[in-house]
Structure formats: C-alpha cells, structure tokens
Amino acid sequence: MTTTFGVRLAAAKRTHGPICVGIDPHPALLDAWGLPDDANGLETFAEICVEAFDGMAAVVKPQVAFFEAYGSAGIAVLERTIEVLRGSGTLVLADAKRGDIGSTMAAYARTWLGDGRLGADAVTVSPYLGFGALQPALDLARANGRGVFVLAATSNPEAAEVQRAVVDGRTLAQTVVDAAAETNRGTEPGSVGVVVGATLTEIPDLSALNGPVLLPGVGAQGGTAAAVRALLPEPVWPAAVPNVSRDVLGAGPSVPALRDRLAAFQEEFAFLR
C-alpha cells in the first residue's frame, strides 16, 4: 500500500460520505428478501449488497459470523465479497472481533490483514485479553497499510460491568482509547480506530485518539444524527464513521431502494465529513 488506511479512510469519507454500511445476512433478512437460508441464498444476498454499496460508502462492513455460519461455502462467499469490493477500490472492514494471544493472534492477523483471500482493509478486534495482546495485528496492519478497530465502549448492556470498571482512575474503556492513541502517535491520521456505540450517553475521552471512531447502532438500534452530534465533541467529527446495517438492509432486495436508503443516511450524517 502506498498510503495508510487512515489516509484512505479520510479520503473515502470526503468522496462518498461518512457512513459505514454493513452486510449482515442473518436468516430473518434472507427470508425477508425471499432467499433460502443456505449458501445459495447467502451468495445472492452478498451479490446484491455488493452491487448496491460498491462505490457508495466510505466503508462496507461484512459481519463475518453470518458467513461463517454456512461453513466453507459461506467463507467462499465472504472471500468473493471482499475480493470484488476491494478490487474496485471500496474499503472493506471485516467485522470479526478477533482477540487472542501470541501465535494465535498472529494467525488472526494474517487472515484478516494479510494478502490472502480474506485480507480486508481493516478488522475489528477485542482488547479484553489485554491491549498488548493485539500487537501482532497492530504490527501487521502497520506493515501492510491496513487498519484495526478496537472495541472500546460498546452499547450492549452487558458490557458496562467490564468496560466501565475503573482501573487507576480511568475506566477500562478509557485505557483502551488511550492505548490506541499512543499507537497512533506520530501518524496523521492514525489507522488504529476504536468502536464506540452510537446509542451510549457517556463515552471515553476521544480527543487524543488521532484515529477513526466506528459508531455502530445507527438506525434500527436507535442511533440518530442528533444523538451522535450530542455524543461527540465537534473536533472528533472528522474521525467519526457511523455504522448502519439493518435499517439500510431492510430496504432490500431492490438495489435502487438500498442505494436510496443509504443515500438518506449519508445526507443525515453529512456534518461528519
């Protein structure tokens, strides 16, 4: 890569708008689209999403679990989806939420940030085996010009007992953000982002992050443009990447309808460009 993920993401936001749109082929959506709950239905679903979203969003985010559920056939569909999107220049974020230690973390990094068929532009990771355990992914991302989004403050209610626990005067979520900020030091903009739920009412201090902020929960889960305006300090807006999945996918399987719904969200969140 001649440019870092952080630079490519900033350019994609300026060109296409700030939205990250998800590809989440769960069985209820396959049914709603009139598709069978099997690998053939999965492939048709993914192909429609690629046609609708390619070149229309800053980032496209396949939810890896929904592809894995179909075994090797599902992984093959995911490989083709990533290949087509990246081949045309659309940034792909693999929502894999991987987190482990040592050689296992290194293997996850090679899978999602390497040059194999599952290699994406960025991957989501969990730091809750210790931020330092992510080092193999951070190192490979840097070497390959890719990005990493680290779970920091998620919106599921179960997360609070862990992420809001206080360690040496800071919440655990804040220590994650601060560690990501340290990794981004000296780069502009950084390629190590954090994940912060768009439906939260209290979030870590992001002012020193110097990296992207993925905001899942927009649309069907209740996150709105007004809520994001209130949640994020204005200096953080250029780094914000709202993620919408179900609310856009609900417009399918019509490609024009999917594009129209995505365009409406791009317009709603245009202040984040």
Give the model confidence (pLDDT) of 248-267 as tens digits.
Answer: 999 999 999 999 999 999 99
pTM: 0.97
Average pLDDT score over residue span 18-37: 98
Pick the CATH number of 5-272 from 1.10.1740.10, 3.20.20.70, 3.40.50.300, 3.40.50.450: 3.20.20.70
d(CA 48, CA 268): 24
> Are the CB atoms for 39 and 73 separated by under 8 Å?
yes
Q: Is the pLDDT of residue 273 over 90?
A: no
Q: What is the domain partition of the chain in residue ranges?
A: 5-272
pLDDT (tens digit per residue) in 98-155: 999 999 999 999 999 999 999 999 999 999 999 999 999 999 999 999 999 999 999 9
User: Is 13 in the active site?
Assistant: no
Average pLDDT, the chain: 96
Average pLDDT score over residue span 192-203: 96
> Are the CB atoms for 211 and 181 separated by under 8 Å?
yes
Active-site residue, selected from the candidate residues 26, 80, 86, 97: 97
pLDDT band at 68 (very low <50, low <70, confident <90, very high): very high
d(CA 44, CA 34): 10
